Amino acid sequence: MSRFTRALAFAFGAFVFLLLVKPTKAQQKPEWTWKDASGRTHTRSELDEVLQKHQEWLEGKSDTRRANLGGAHLNGANLNGANLDGANLDGAHLDGAHLNGADLLFAHLDGAYLFFAHLDGAYLRGTHLDGANLDFAHLDGANLRGTHLANARLTGADLGRAMFEGNCGGKELGVTDLSGEP
């Protein structure tokens, strides 16, 4: 094998290696973004800042405010374990969002879209979900005691091991999966 052939083989091998190790911009997964109620696009770090200010508000720190994400488009957001106690999420779009183990004590989600949302083990005590769409949502082991569910949609929702108290505003759960089985 000549020097030229070896050099060409080496260069080709290095080129293939670089392609496999460093993906091109077209191959890279775009950063997750969300839109506020006015339609402005924001980054994940901006959402983290909203959540941090909300946490400070919960701790009673001055110059902070509760999270106001009403009408925001947060589809597919990863909010597992987030503390959103008392947050305003009225009319928010949370389709496919991950809120497993999230704290939503007395949060406002009236008219929110939670289609296929993941709320397993979420703490929803006293949460306002009036008119919310929870179709096919995963609420296995969620605490729904005292939750406001008037006119909420729960078609195909998994409420296995979910905890309830009192009535659900006359909500019929006949088509809802309460077994906890997938």
Residue 3 lies in a domain: no
Q: Domain count of the chain?
A: 1
Residue 2 lies in a domain: no
Residue 21: the pLDDT is 67
The answer to pTM > 0.85 is: no
Residue 83 lies in a domain: yes
Which is more confidently placed, 43 or 177? 43
Q: How many Cβ atoms from other residues are within 10 Å of residue 91's Cβ?
A: 18
Range(s) of the domain holding residue 120:
26-182
Amino acid at 177: D
User: Whole-angstrom Cα distance, residue 149 to residue 146?
Assistant: 9
Does residue 177 register a pLDDT over 70?
A: no
Looking up residue 168, the CATH number of its domain turns out to be: 2.160.20.80
